[in-house]
Amino acid sequence: MARHRNVRGYNYDEDFEEDDMYGHSVEDDYCISPATAAQFIYSKRDRHSSFTEPLEEEEEEYVDEEPDKTKASNLTPLDQARLYSCLDHMREVLGESVSEKVMTDAVLQCQFDVAKALDLVFKQDGNEKAVPTNQDVSTTGRPAKGKSRGLPSVEVQNEVVPKIAKMTVSGKKQTMGFDIPSAASEVNGQNVPVLSKGQPMDEVLEEPESSRQSPTQGVSSQGSDDLNATPSQGRSAGKSKQKINVKDELEKRQGGKQLLNLVVIGHVDAGKSTLMGHLLYLLGHVNKRTMHKYEQESKKAGKASFAYAWVLDETGEERQRGVTMDVGMTKFETKSKVITLMDAPGHKDFIPNMITGAAQADVAILVVDASRGEFEAGFEAGGQTREHALLVRSLGVTQLAIAVNKMDQVNWQQERFQEVTSKLGHFLKQAGFKDSDVFYIPTSGLSGENLTKASQVPELTSWYKGRCLIDQIDSFKAPQRSVDKPFRFCVSDVFKDQGSGFCVTGKIEAGYVQVGDRMLAMPPNETCTVKGITLHDEAVDWAAAGDHVSLTLTGMDIIKINVGCVFCSPSEPIKACTRFRARVLIFNFDVPVTQGFPVIIHYQTVSEPATIRKLISVLHKSTGEVVKKKPKCLTKGMNAIIELQSQRPIAIELYKEFKELGRFMLRYSGSSIAAGVVTEIKE
Ligand code: GDP
């Protein structure tokens, strides 16, 4: 389940403040804590010295204690280090049974070859068969008895099987492991354990950023988000790219299934998360064990009824508060479609997040609580049922399934169902939904009734013969993907991940992208290269309109990119402006809208403060003719042309050219006051 909620809103500045990780590559992360890295790298886990400590200090300490002082002190510092390293390893194998002198002699005689030195000692003892294997050593996890003496011997290498679970800035957990080094390499005549591909360990720990090799070297990524760790493997980065026939490829990739982006909306506590969590469980996306865990945990937290909601509400705060805050994203399949599900927050405070979810959706499920009083509370002024429905319609969603939920609470009464649907139907028509595109389904998210198969509850089956929820989702008409249009990608999240470069997530609104493509970001009007693409947690070579993807980018500074930036093809760029004209519809809003009115413009992932610079004209609602020029103010229900001035440049399109990027919402003081479409871009 790909969740982006952890990512957005995450204040990565805080992370950076602590370690100043900003701009660091993957090795930096390890460098920050060499002790931690060393802990994983070496079997001698209790060593207290690091590679960076001056060797001499330790030598002194060692020399004081050891009898074979002369032999060691006659050596060059480098050979001394090699000797101590060999002794350490031998000590691990032999324990205290052999004197330091015997071991030193053997090491020197065998020219620092630990294996040979060990053989020699065993031969001398006539105790050959007692030689423990390296495996034995590593699995005991026994602390080294000898003291730490700098570089470990090459023979330790087979013990190195570390796995480091790394939490990226985005909160995505990544598991990484070092390759098990298979051979030692000679660097400057010195045996140095190698992580892989000739990268010496001290280089990994100490080298300056500039001279660092690609993080892909020596690191084998085991997580699903491995694209940035191994972007070139099997991919076209750096190679001459082959143009693909996107339409054919899309057809192949989806196995004939169409792609559909679905947003779940509705008043807080209507049961959105429970409904969708239960649906996913019934579809087999959550295994029994995990579900059991959620049940136990939610019981423990005193919120037993939220167990299914926890499938989607993943963050601690969401669970604590029992509300969805950010937009969760999950993929599932129906008979004929691949669905990307977005679970939008119902709470008033998180409407901007909901707008982001809705802007990326093709169709919506509006969940309403059928319980007496509850439906009414959500539907009245101040409830989110109306606001959400209006928002999704204004953002381009035309097909709607209404889950009349918690029907178990009203004994599956037909009268209640009809009461709810008639009230809603009237309003939805006004909001611009066609009757033929609105479908009502009685459900119970808690009991799972009517979600994936027709209900068996007699109280319901006696009067309801329609589709269950999943069948309705399957029957939605999938929109045409604008793959032929110029590339447009709206950033919904920016985060530093492993490896060089950084990642952006979002939805491809139009066109397609291939690994190795150059892209232009607007704003800041700078180019970069796509190093990797992740779609539903899998690394892919290309992605096209409609896909929610993560792109790994290089050649640009992460600081330049914000949520709301639009990436486009450099040859057909999107315009960035601060002043544009639009046709707007004023919602049910009591305060008259005047010149200079401060608003927040919301579209796609953008949310930008602006002011209404001019009121140009009032239009006739149906004919669109100018009714009045230069009005003093705009009141509810009015259709008008206005000029907006944003504080910072925003990337926007004319509605007639690019619907998805030419449609916006205006909000003021926590309420949606108008929906609009861009008619003219000024500057
Ligand atoms: P959301 O805020 O819309 O996501 O609502 P939740 O899914 O968090 O549910 C809010 C509360 O309603 C929880 O206590 C759920 O257990 C409860 N609930 C959800 N669906 C149903 C249902 O179909 N029947 C009943 N009786 N309770 C439900």
Secondary structure (3-state) at 350: helix
Q: Scanning the structure block, which residue is given the tokens 């699903």? A: 224
- Model confidence pLDDT, tens digit, residues 110-129: 888 878 888 887 777 654 43
Q: How far is the CA of 406 from the centre of ligand 1 (A)?
A: 7
Could you tell me which residues are beta bridge partners of residue 642? 582, 615
Least confident of 71-75, 212-216, 565-569, 629-633: 212-216
CB 664 within 8 A of CB 675: yes
pLDDT for the residue numbered 60: 37
Q: How far is the CA of 445 from the centre of ligand 1 (A)?
A: 7
Pair of tokens at residue 266: 């509705």
Q: How far is the CA of 479 from the centre of ligand 1 (A)?
A: 31
- Model confidence pLDDT, tens digit, residues 441-479: 999 998 999 999 988 889 999 999 999 999 999 999 988
- Report which protein residue has its CA nearest ligand 1's atom 17: 271
pLDDT for the residue numbered 641: 94
Number of C-beta neighbours around residue 620 at 10 A: 11
Cα–Cα distance, 434 to 58 (Å, whole number): 81
pLDDT for the residue numbered 551: 92
Q: Is the CB of 446 under 6 A from ligand 1?
A: yes
Cα–Cα distance, 137 to 423 (Å, whole number): 74
The pair phi, psi for residue 292, each rounded to 5°, is -60, -40
- Report which protein residue has its CA nearest ligand 1's atom 22: 406
Q: Is the CB of 328 under 6 A from ligand 1?
A: no
Q: How far is the CA of 372 from the centre of ligand 1 (A)?
A: 14
Q: Which ligand 1 atom is nearest residue 309's CA?
A: 7
Secondary structure (3-state) at 563: coil
Q: How far is the CA of 331 from the centre of ligand 1 (A)?
A: 22
CB 646 within 8 A of CB 654: no
Q: How far is the CA of 657 from the centre of ligand 1 (A)?
A: 41
DSSP assignment of 356-408 equals: HHHHT-SEEEEEEE-STTHHHHHHSTTSHHHHHHHHHHHTT--EEEEEEE-GG
Q: Is the CB of 305 under 6 A from ligand 1?
A: yes
Residue 244 identity: I
Q: Which ligand 1 atom is nearest residue 447's CA?
A: 23
- Whether 502 shows a pLDDT value over 80: the answer reads yes
Residue 351: which pLDDT band, with cuts at 50, 70 and 90? low
CB 565 within 8 A of CB 491: yes
For residue 584, CA distances in Å to 563, 593, 601 come to 24, 11, 12
- Whether 562 shows a pLDDT value over 70: the answer reads yes
Residues 6+ apart with CB under 8 A from 445: 271, 272, 274, 275, 276, 277, 278, 279, 308, 367, 403, 405, 406, 451
- Report which protein residue has its CA nearest ligand 1's atom 14: 305
Q: Which residue among 5, 265, 269 is best mutated to probe the pocket of ligand 1, counting the most ligand atoms within 8 A of its Cβ?
A: 269
Q: Which ligand 1 atom is nearest residue 312's CA?
A: 4
pLDDT for the residue numbered 517: 92
Q: Which ligand 1 atom is nearest residue 367's CA?
A: 3
Q: Which ligand 1 atom is nearest residue 268's CA?
A: 2
Q: How far is the CA of 447 from the centre of ligand 1 (A)?
A: 10
Of 208 and 673, the one with more pLDDT: 673
* Angle subtended by helix axes 77-94 and 100-109, to nearest 10: 120
Q: Which residue among 276, 298, 305 is best mutated to probe the pocket of ligand 1, counting the most ligand atoms within 8 A of its Cβ?
A: 305
- Report which protein residue has its CA nearest ligand 1's atom 18: 271
- Model confidence pLDDT, tens digit, residues 504-561: 988 898 999 999 999 999 888 999 999 999 887 788 989 998 888 889 999 988 888 8
- Model confidence pLDDT, tens digit, residues 131-188: 333 333 333 333 333 333 333 333 333 322 222 222 222 333 222 222 222 333 333 3
Cα–Cα distance, 513 to 531 (Å, whole number): 11
- Report which protein residue has its CA nearest ligand 1's atom 12: 271
Lateral strand order in the sheet of 219-221: 163-167, 173-178, 219-221
CB 643 within 8 A of CB 549: no
DSSP assignment of 288-322 equals: HHHHHHHHHHHHHTT-GGGTTHHHH--SHHHHHHT
Cα–Cα distance, 469 to 467 (Å, whole number): 6
Q: How far is the CA of 415 from the centre of ligand 1 (A)?
A: 21
Of 85 and 528, the one with more pLDDT: 528
- Report which protein residue has its CA nearest ligand 1's atom 19: 271
- Whether 644 shows a pLDDT value over 90: the answer reads yes
Q: β-strands 548-554, 502-510: how paired?
A: antiparallel
Residue 347: which pLDDT band, with cuts at 50, 70 and 90? low
Whether the pTM exceeds 0.75: the reply is: no
Q: Scanning the structure block, which residue is given the tokens 């952006």? A: 504
Residues 6+ apart with CB under 8 A from 326: 4, 5, 6, 8, 9, 315, 318, 345, 350, 353
Q: How far is the CA of 305 from the centre of ligand 1 (A)?
A: 7
Cα–Cα distance, 602 to 13 (Å, whole number): 24
pLDDT for the residue numbered 487: 94
Cα–Cα distance, 456 to 466 (Å, whole number): 13
Q: Which residue among 385, 388, 446 is best mutated to probe the pocket of ligand 1, counting the most ligand atoms within 8 A of its Cβ?
A: 446
Q: β-strands 438-442, 399-405: how paired?
A: parallel
For residue 258, CA distances in Å to 62, 247, 253, 535 come to 70, 12, 10, 16
Q: Which ligand 1 atom is nearest residue 444's CA?
A: 23
Cα–Cα distance, 458 to 139 (Å, whole number): 61
Q: Is the CB of 409 under 6 A from ligand 1?
A: yes
DSSP state of 447: T
- Whether 440 shows a pLDDT value over 90: the answer reads yes
Pair of tokens at residue 449: 């009734």
Residue 15: which pLDDT band, with cuts at 50, 70 and 90? very low
My answer on whether omega of the bond before 486 falls inside 30° of 0, hence cis, is no
Cα–Cα distance, 492 to 507 (Å, whole number): 8
Q: Is the CB of 306 under 6 A from ligand 1?
A: yes
Cα–Cα distance, 97 to 398 (Å, whole number): 81
Rg for the chain (alpha carbons), in Å?
32
